Amino acid sequence: MVVGIIVSMFLMKSEMSLGDLSYDPLLVKPDFNLAAVLSIGIPLVLLGLADFLKGYGILTAN
């Protein structure tokens, strides 16, 4: 990361100082709702079951 910052300081067309790299932290409050849980949770469960069932099928075949 340090190398990337140094390289970007040299490659930037405008002047950039080390003071530009420090910002105040921003507190982000998470927002949980049922639609988000279902839209993310169900595909993750299906992917996990697909891998489990694929491995189970290979083991039972052998």
The model's pTM: 0.43
Digit-coded pLDDT (tens) for 24-35? 778 888 888 899
CB-based contact 21:5 (threshold 8 Å): yes
> Residue 25, Cα to own-chain centre: how many angstroms?
19
d(CA 32, CA 39): 12
* pLDDT tops 70 at residue 38: yes
